Amino acid sequence: MSKKNIVIGAGFSGCTIANLIANTLNEKVLVIDKRNHIAGNSYDYRDHNGIMIHKYGSHIFHTSNEKVWSFIKQFSDFNQYMHKVIGIIDGIETNIPFNLNSLHDVFPHSLADKIERKLLKKYKYNTKVPIFEFQKQNDGDLKFLADYIYEKVFLYYTSKQWGINPENMESSVTARVPVYISKDNRYFQDKYQGIPLEGFTNLIENMLNHKNIKVELNTNFNDIDEKFDRIFYTGSIDEFFNYKFGVLPYRSVTFKFEEYNSEFYQNNSVINYPCNYDFTRIHEFKHYLKDKSPKTIIAKEYSSDFSLGGGIFGERYYPVLKEENILLYNKYLDLAKNLNSVRFLGRLGDYKYYDIDKAILRAINLFEEIKND
C-alpha cells in the first residue's frame, strides 16, 4: 500500500531519498526546507557577472563508489575538474596535503632530497599517513619534518577551523589532512571528480523534478499539520528533540565576499592560510567552471562556534567530533530508536562529517532498508 512521505531538508541527503521513493516506489513525497532555496549548503547561483558562486563555500563532487556515481550522473553532466588546495607556508605557496612536492617547495634542495630518500625508504609511495602517526619518528630528520608539518600546516589551521586543540579531535577528522608520500597534488584521489556543468542547485532541481515530489520552501517541520507514514529528518537531531539533553556542538563558518576588477585574484580555487590572518582560506569560484568575466569574486572564510541564538555564525556546518559530544549524540540516538516512523540522516541527523558522496550513499542505503516497509 502506498505511504505518505515527508523529507525535512532539501540537501543531498533528503533529495536523494525523496527521488528514490518517488521514482522506485511511485509514492508521493513532500520535501520541505526552512531556507528559501533547495540544495542545502551546496547551493550555488550565477551572480551579475555570470560567475557561479558557491554561497556556503566550495563544494566539489568526488567518489570512487560506482553506485553513487551511477545515481548522481542521471541528474547532471560533470566537468573533469580535479581539486587542488594550496597553502601559504612561510610565505611560500605549496600543496595541501603536504607531499613530496611540498617538501621541495619549502626546504633547500639538499635537505629536501635527503628527507625524501628517508621517507621513501620508510613508507610505500602513495601512502597517506595521519599526522599523529607521522609524528612517531625515531629519525632526527623525519622528526624535524613531522614537527614542521604539525606546526606549519596542521596546528594553527585546525585550531582556527575547529576552535580546539587537534589532539582532542576524533581521528576521522584529523586523518582528512594527512602527510602524503606522493607527488600527486590532487586533494582527492577518487576515480570520479568534478563540478556539475550547470551547478549543484540545477542538479538538485533535476533530482526533485518528479511528478510525485512536491517542494515547499520557507517551511519548518513544526508548521506541518499533516500526518505521514514515513518522516525523513535531515535537520539537527537535538533540535528535533527540543534539546532535551543539551545542544550538540557544531562549528559554523561565515564568508566575506569581495569583488575585484581583475580576471583572477589568485592562481587556485582555494588557498589556505594556516598561520596567517584570522580567516582560514580564500575561495575563488571562477576556477571551477572556467567562467569568463573581466571581474572575479572571492570569499574569505571565517570559523567560529555555532550559535543557537543566530547571528553570523547561526548555521551548523561541521559536527565537533569529541568524545563527550559523541556521547551526547548517542543519547539522542537512543531516543530516535523509539520512533518507528522517523528516520534521521545527513550530516546533522547523523552528526557526522559527510562529503557529498557519503551523504548520497547513506541515503541510498537507508532507502534499501525501508523500501519494503
Distance CA 103, CA 99 (A): 6
Instruction: Residue 339: count other Cβ atoms within 10 Å of its Cβ.
Output: 13
User: What pLDDT does residue 163 have?
Assistant: 83
* Cα dihedral across residues 28, 31, 37, 39: positive or negative: negative
Q: What's the confidence (pLDDT) of residue 271?
A: 98
pLDDT at 168: 65
CA dist 80 and 335 (Å) reads: 43
Length of the chain: 373
Q: What is the reported pLDDT for 310?
A: 76
User: Which 8-state DSSP code applies to residue 215?
Assistant: E
Residue 1 pLDDT grade (very low, low, confident, very high; cuts 50, 70, 90): low
Inter-residue contact 345 to 7 (CB < 8 Å): no
Q: Is residue 172 very low, low, confident or very high in pLDDT (cuts 50, 70, 90)? A: low
**Contact at 8 Å (CB) between 313 and 302?**
no
Q: Where are the domains of the chain?
A: 5-81+197-247+320-370, 85-181
Contact present, 148 and 115 (Cβ < 8 Å) = no
Instruction: Please determine, for residue 323, whether its predicted confidence score (pLDDT) is greater than 60.
Output: yes
Look at residue 164 in the predicted model and tell me its pLDDT: 75
Share of the chain above pLDDT 90, in %: 88
Distance CA 29, CA 207 (A): 13
**Euclidean distance between CA atoms 189 and 354, whole angstroms:** 17
- If one compares 133 and 71, the residue with the highest pLDDT of the two is 71
pLDDT in tens, 176-203: 678 999 999 999 999 999 999 999 999 9
pLDDT mean over 55-63: 98
- Position 83 scores a pLDDT of 98
* Average pLDDT, integer, range 341-350: 97
Amino acid at residue number 61: F
Residues 6+ apart with CB under 8 A from 239: none
Q: Residue 283 has which C-alpha cell?
A: 575561495
Instruction: Return d(Cα 180, Cα 267) in angstroms, integer.
Output: 22
Is pLDDT above 90 for 149? yes
Average pLDDT, the chain: 95
**C-alpha dihedral, 113 to 114 to 115 to 119, nearest 10°:** 90
Q: How far apart are CA 201 and CA 68, in angstroms?
A: 18
Encode pLDDT of 37-50 as tens digits.
999 999 999 999 99
Give pLDDT, residue 158. Answer: 87
Long-range contacts of range 157-162, CB-CB < 8 Å, 24 or more positions apart? 157/87, 157/272, 157/273, 157/274, 157/275, 157/280, 160/278, 160/280, 160/303, 161/251, 161/280, 161/303, 162/251, 162/303, 162/318, 162/320
Whether residue 175 has pLDDT greater than 70: no
Question: What confidence score (pLDDT) does residue 372 get?
Answer: 86
pLDDT over 80 (residue 165): no
Residue identified by cell 528535533 is 240
Amino acid in position 233: Y
Greater pLDDT, 337 or 174: 337
Mean pLDDT for 116-143 is 95
pLDDT average, residue stretch 92-101: 97
Give per-residue pLDDT as tens, 293-310.
999 999 999 999 999 987
Q: What is the pLDDT of residue 180?
A: 97
Strands (E), the chain: 5-8, 29-32, 44-46, 52-54, 61-63, 85-89, 92-96, 127-129, 179-181, 192-194, 213-216, 230-233, 250-260, 270-272, 281-284, 296-305, 318-319, 342-344
Single-letter amino acid code for the residue at 66:
E
Q: Which of 112-126, 193-207, 258-272, 309-323 has the lowest mean pLDDT?
A: 309-323
Give the position of cell 617547495: 105
- The residue type found at 147 is D
Q: Among residues of the chain, what percentage have pLDDT more than 70?
A: 97
pLDDT at 167 over 80: no
Out of 99-113, 256-270, 314-328, pick the least confident. 314-328
Average pLDDT over residues 131-145: 93
Average pLDDT of the segment spanning 204-219 = 98
Structural domain 5-81+197-247+320-370, CATH architecture: 3-Layer(aba) Sandwich (3.40)
